[in-house]
């Protein structure tokens, strides 16, 4: 097993960096570390690392890759050795990170493992610099794959994650699995789909309280961006968290989320099981319907070796 520390960052494709800056930085309050060439490097107020969200200019939306940090430098060596004997990988550098390895999970999700990212300092108690909804830290990502079982096995057996909750389909098979490494309700959620290519549903930033979740809707509505408010505010049954889902101008989805639980004793934890007839309040504890767009729309992911998006067929 590779000793990973946590989910670290996501690299998301946007078509217009200026418009993305207005949405993510000026309105929602992600902290700008820097703009460099075709990339905008952002983070939450609690994050001292160089970035947790990279917006990369591209001709269409999608996920470029997801970054995980390993606990020690030797874990990266171990990962390179272990993974290279099983799957194709490449050495990759990014702004603030000298070296890491980029590869695809068994189901084709692009992942980047690294140890050391430049540390620029957090804005945790610099309250005068907080803006928008004061995004605190990257909390989780939500992925779509064809074969859920093989993907979950990889995150558990190779990357050290464990399951916190399951949602079962009408045949009693796992349809969605929530996994964590650092002990929050989840850092990775994975859903199964009949689509033959992997997809990226959303990334989520933790905010400190429900008021910040509501503020996201107030900010976008008062800026005339009603179409960007896709779902919520509401409360999930699964994970307990308050949520709101937003779409940027390219239809990439971002969630703000608050007040989920922490797993105090991983060795005692038994995954919470939601059966299919509990769908309504599993997804929204107050039983409100889920928008069709939320259920059926997500963005494609890049092939790490070509940089091209993988296209799917049902």
What is the rounded CA–CA span in Å between residue 62 and residue 151?
20
Contact assessment for residue 58 and residue 98, using Cβ atoms and an 8 Å cutoff:
no
The least CB distance from residue 241 to Fe ion, in Å, is 8
Of the pair 107, 204, the CB lying nearest Fe ion is at: 204
Is residue 255 close enough to count as binding Fe ion by CB under 5 A? yes
The least CB distance from residue 258 to Fe ion, in Å, is 12
Is residue 252 close enough to count as binding Fe ion by CB under 5 A? no
Contact assessment for residue 253 and residue 245, using Cβ atoms and an 8 Å cutoff:
yes
SS (H, E, C) 181-210: CCCECCCEEEEECCCCCCEEEEEEEECCCH
**Which listed range, 5-13, 71-79, 197-205, 207-215, lies at the site for Fe ion (CB under 5 A)?**
197-205
Q: Which of 52, 204, 258, 283 binds Fe ion (CB under 5 A)?
A: 204
What is the rounded CA–CA span in Å between residue 101 and residue 88?
10
Of the pair 33, 164, the CB lying nearest Fe ion is at: 164
What is the rounded CA–CA span in Å between residue 255 and residue 133?
11
Of the pair 96, 199, the CB lying nearest Fe ion is at: 199
Of the pair 70, 141, the CB lying nearest Fe ion is at: 141
Strands 229-235 and 62-70: unpaired
Contact assessment for residue 15 and residue 70, using Cβ atoms and an 8 Å cutoff:
no
The least CB distance from residue 18 to Fe ion, in Å, is 27
Of the pair 97, 133, the CB lying nearest Fe ion is at: 133
* Cα→Cα distances 306→255, 301, 310, Å: 29, 12, 10
Nearest to 167 by CA among 175, 157, 156: 175
Window 134 to 153, contacts with Fe ion (CB under 5 A): 142
In sequence order, the β-bridge partners of residue 309 are 302
The least CB distance from residue 78 to Fe ion, in Å, is 30
The least CB distance from residue 201 to Fe ion, in Å, is 8
Of the pair 64, 239, the CB lying nearest Fe ion is at: 239
Contact assessment for residue 288 and residue 234, using Cβ atoms and an 8 Å cutoff:
yes
The least CB distance from residue 203 to Fe ion, in Å, is 8
What is the rounded CA–CA span in Å between residue 137 and residue 157?
26
The least CB distance from residue 142 to Fe ion, in Å, is 5
What is the rounded CA–CA span in Å between residue 31 and residue 45?
7
What is the rounded CA–CA span in Å between residue 245 and residue 251?
11
Of the pair 100, 199, the CB lying nearest Fe ion is at: 199
The least CB distance from residue 188 to Fe ion, in Å, is 10
**Which listed range, 10-18, 56-64, 164-172, 199-207, lies at the site for Fe ion (CB under 5 A)?**
199-207
Of the pair 142, 258, the CB lying nearest Fe ion is at: 142
Of the pair 28, 76, the CB lying nearest Fe ion is at: 28
What is the rounded CA–CA span in Å between residue 174 and residue 163?
12
**Which listed range, 124-132, 146-154, 175-183, 204-212, lies at the site for Fe ion (CB under 5 A)?**
204-212
The least CB distance from residue 236 to Fe ion, in Å, is 8
Contact assessment for residue 157 and residue 149, using Cβ atoms and an 8 Å cutoff:
no
Is residue 163 close enough to count as binding Fe ion by CB under 5 A? no
Is residue 283 close enough to count as binding Fe ion by CB under 5 A? no
Binding-site ranges for Fe ion (CB under 5 A): 142, 204, 255
């Amino acid at each position: 097993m590779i000793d990973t520390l946590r989910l670290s960052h996501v690299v998301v494709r946007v078509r217009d960096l200026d418009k993305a800056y207005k949405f993510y930085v000026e309105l929602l309050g992600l902290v700008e570390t820097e703009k460099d060439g075709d990339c905008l490097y952002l983070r939450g107020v609690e994050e001292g690392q160089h970035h947790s969200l990279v917006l990369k200019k591209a001709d269409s939306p999608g996920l470029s890759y997801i970054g995980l940090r390993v606990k020690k430098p030797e874990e990266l060596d171990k990962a390179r050795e272990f993974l290279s004997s099983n799957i194709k990988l490449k050495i990759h550098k990014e702004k603030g990170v000298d070296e890491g390895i980029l590869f695809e999970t068994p189901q084709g999700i692009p992942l980047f493992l690294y140890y050391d990212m430049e540390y620029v300092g957090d804005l945790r108690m610099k309250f005068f610099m907080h803006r928008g909804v004061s995004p605190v830290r990257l909390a989780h990502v939500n992925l779509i794959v064809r074969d859920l079982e093989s993907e979950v096995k990889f995150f558990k057996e190779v990357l050290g994650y464990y399951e916190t909750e399951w949602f079962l389909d009408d045949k009693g098979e796992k349809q969605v699995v929530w996994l964590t490494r650092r002990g929050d309700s989840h850092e990775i959620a994975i859903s199964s789909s009949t689509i033959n290519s992997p997809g990226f549903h959303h990334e989520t930033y933790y905010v400190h309280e429900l008021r910040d979740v509501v503020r996201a809707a107030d900010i976008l509505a008062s800026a005339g961006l009603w179409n960007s408010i896709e779902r919520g505010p509401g409360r999930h049954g699964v994970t307990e968290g308050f949520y709101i889902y937003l779409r940027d101008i390219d239809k990439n989805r971002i969630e703000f989320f608050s007040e989920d639980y922490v797993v105090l004793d991983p060795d005692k934890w038994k995954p919470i099981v939601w059966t299919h007839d509990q769908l309504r309040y599993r997804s929204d504890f107050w039983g409100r319907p889920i928008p069709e767009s939320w259920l059926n729309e997500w963005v494609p992911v890049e092939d790490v070796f070509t940089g091209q998006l993988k296209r799917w067929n049902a």
